Amino acid sequence: MGSLSRLPRAQRRAQLLDAAIPQFARDGYHRTSMESIAKAAGVTKPVLYQHFSSKEALYLEVIRTVGSTMAGEIDSLVRLEGDTSVRIAHALRRFTEILVSSGMSMRVLQTSERISDEVAAAVEEVLERSARSIAIVLQRSRDLTERDAQVLGLVLAGMARSFADQLSRAETTEDRSRITGLLTTFISNGLRSFPALESPQIRGTVTESFV
């Protein structure tokens, strides 16, 4: 592979993470190998193992990195100007961009792969951290008790997980925009945003879609 330029440890770890994230996002944990990550980073496997003792250790670091990015985006909402709907629209737009561009955020939120208890705990910590960040944003903009803000933060974090699942199924940019707009409207104004039927009815097509 040739001689490798020596980088500061922190810079090398960042380089390895940058190489690992798209591979885990594309192929998942089980189909991604340390050899393929080392090749993508332009290093040897021994160099990769100097920084991460195992594939699981590397995956855990990837999850934590993605979690920090997500929490940072939520924290930035405090500095936004505009009413609630403007903030929500911006948050969901950025969230969509992060999910779609990296793919790894989508995989973390979906948690479809069973790897280990430690990985599952790390994913839950990402969601809990996101919930805490949401709660802080809510308390700074709404008259809510700490407990109520925490409850709403957890609910919205759960919605984010479902949102990620729906985005993963969207086949076009237009479909993703529609889903984002629908959720923005719902969070901003609730079901009152959608006209009520004069004669409530169960529509077969909706029922069938959940079967």
Taking only the tens place, the pLDDT of each residue in 53-102 is 999 999 999 988 888 887 777 777 666 666 666 666 666 666 666 666 55
Structure tokens at 30: 């089980």
Question: What was the pLDDT predicted at 77?
Answer: 65
Domains and CATH numbers, the chain: 56-191 (1.10.357.10)
Q: Which amino acid is at 115?
A: I
Contacts of 115 (CB under 8 A, 6+ apart): 29, 30, 56, 59
| Nearest Cα residue to 129 out of 74, 80, 184 | 74
| Nearest Cα residue to 189 out of 83, 91, 94 | 83
Residue 38 has pLDDT above 90, yes or no: yes
Reported as half-sphere exposure (CB side, CA atoms, 13 A), residue 71 has a value of 17
Percent of the chain past pLDDT 90, that is, above it, reads 19
Q: Is the pTM of this model over 0.85?
A: no
Question: What was the pLDDT predicted at 210?
Answer: 47
Q: What is the pLDDT of residues 161-189, one digit of tens each?
A: 777 778 777 888 898 888 888 887 887 77
Confidence of residue 1 (pLDDT cuts 50, 70, 90): very low
